[in-house]
Amino acid sequence: FQECVFAYHFYRLIAGAKRVTLIYDTRTQGINSGDMSRYLYQLIYKFPVGKLHIEHAYFEMPSQTTTKPLEVKKTSRIMDIINLYKSPNEPKRALSASSINDLVACPLLFYFKHVEKLNVSDDIVEYMDEGLFGTILHEIAEQSYRRFQSGNAPLHVTAQLLDRLISEKLELQKLITGSINKNYNRLPSVNPPGQPYSNPTALVGEARVIGNIMQKFMILLFKEEKKRAPFYFVNAEHKIAHYINISPGLGINLNGSIDRIDRLADGTVAIIDYKTGNDNIAVKQLSHLFDTVSDKDGHEKAILQLFIYCNAYRETTGYNGPIKPCIYKFRTLESEGLNDVTIEGMALNNYLDFNNEVTNKLSDILTKLFDSDEPFRAIPHQSHCRYCKYGALCGQEIKKP
């Protein structure tokens, strides 16, 4: 609605003008994207060539950005905060897979976001963004199996059960409608307090379209999972809030949530991470899990996160068998199905095959975090600087590709 109001005011403003001059700036400092607005593109598309005059002007201007990456020294106050991450007596100050990924990507980002907790508010949008889409899809996937589970006992998932999940489209629609009404439409539950949320109000407009997309994704998932049945659904949204040993003499408070845990037919535990984006599942070199300075698109966040979760599961449960990290990419389910995570061309059937190298590198990074002589430094990189919310504080100017 807001977008429509803005468009109305823009076109009403220029409707009676004999001559209109519009200027845009290609610089990408701060919050400026450097792109023409959609209104300029619309005018170029709608008006004949003879009615528009487009001129590109170039100016040599001295750079106002920081030439040397910004760094923050660790004062005693900052060290007092950081040391809480490794204090078992302070579980409220904990690292997560996400915050560790921020630390790997850019220590200065970690400082702003997690040490000083400088919260940058997201723009209010009147549509379902990717984060909320993922949250709802996670909830639907969890509830689809939960409704057949008896208490906390693992659910035996057979081909017949998956056929039932595929065929019971009305039940799936109820789950989708309820989750969208709760998380997106923010409608109150029709059930009394203390009972599970329920609101069957029919979806309309954008919510209905998104609901149909989610239904398609879930049916595709059930069909793909049928190919690897039977297996056991053990848990979903498994909470982690423990003191974890990373290496001898180095432990941290870790919290997080594992999307799903399965036990496969051969006894292997599968740690599953749902992804609605375009995360990579094929790593050419193990070093790419931490590589933030090459020309590639940053380090492999999704797979590093899985290693952290696998370690946490093993540490907190005492399970010593094989643990298989899995990424379920909803975006490519139809075209590619469910594929194994691979590192250096090898299917990652047990995270322990590479875990020593990963934890050693992770230990090095965390050791630097707790080193008072190691400042928080910015690591300029196209993949994360371009959309970083702290760019105005950092002063790094990253050119678009």
Give dist(CA 176, CA 204) in Å, integer: 13
Instruction: Indicate the pairing of strand 342-343 with strand 346-347.
Output: antiparallel
The CB density around residue 334, as the number of other CB atoms within 10 Å, is 12
* Secondary structure letter of residue 111 according to DSSP: I
Give dist(CA 222, CA 164) in Å, integer: 10
Number of residues written out for the chain: 401
3-state secondary structure of 179: helix
Tell me how far CA of residue 367 lies from CA of 16, 153, 247, 340, in angstroms. 65, 40, 10, 32
User: What pLDDT is attached to residue 297?
Assistant: 62
Q: Which residue has the higher pLDDT, 40 or 134?
A: 134
User: What pLDDT is attached to residue 322?
Assistant: 96
DSSP one-letter string for 231-279: EEEEEEEEEEEEEEEEETTEEEEEEEEEEEEEE-TTS-EEEEEEESS--
- Model confidence at 401, pLDDT cuts 50, 70, 90, reads very low
User: pLDDT tens across 159-180, in order?
Assistant: 999 999 999 999 999 999 999 9
pLDDT over threshold 60, residue 397: no
7, 39 in Cβ contact below 8 A? yes
pLDDT over threshold 70, residue 51: yes
* Secondary structure letter of residue 197 according to DSSP: P
Give dist(CA 398, CA 401) in Å, integer: 9
pTM given for the model: 0.79
pLDDT over threshold 60, residue 30: no
Region 31-40: mean pLDDT is 69
Q: Which of 169, 72, 168, 180 is nearest to 128 (CA)?
A: 180
User: pLDDT tens across 289-331, in order?
Assistant: 887 655 556 678 899 999 999 999 998 999 999 999 999 999 8
Q: What percent of the chain lies above the pLDDT cut of 70?
A: 88
User: What pLDDT is attached to residue 17?
Assistant: 87
The angle formed by the CA atoms of residues 347, 237 and 292, to the nearest 5 degrees, is: 50
Give dist(CA 34, CA 387) in Å, integer: 12
pLDDT over threshold 80, residue 28: no
Give dist(CA 264, CA 346) in Å, integer: 19
Region 264-279: mean pLDDT is 94
Strands (DSSP E) contained in 56-128 are 71-72
User: What pLDDT is attached to residue 68?
Assistant: 62
Place of tokens 């040391």: 83
341, 270 in Cβ contact below 8 A? no
Region 43-69: mean pLDDT is 66
Cβ neighbours of residue 369 closer than 8 Å, sequence gap 6 or more: 82, 85, 103, 107, 110
> Which stretches of 147-246 are DSSP H helices?
159-167, 169-183, 205-226
Region 25-50: mean pLDDT is 70
User: What pLDDT is attached to residue 245?
Assistant: 84
* Secondary structure letter of residue 95 according to DSSP: B
Question: What's at 339, amino acid-wise?
Answer: N
Region 332-357: mean pLDDT is 92
User: What pLDDT is attached to residue 126?
Assistant: 65
pLDDT over threshold 70, residue 123: no
342 membership: H or E segment, kind and range: strand 342-343
Q: Which of 158, 203, 169, 167 is nearest to 184 (CA)?
A: 203
* Secondary structure letter of residue 148 according to DSSP: T
Task: Give 197: exposed, middle or buried? Use CB within 10 Å, 0-12, 13-18, 19+.
Answer: middle
Q: State the virtual CA torsion across 110, 112, 116, 118 in degrees, nearest 10.
A: -130
Give dist(CA 283, CA 5) in Å, integer: 46
Cβ neighbours of residue 119 closer than 8 Å, sequence gap 6 or more: none
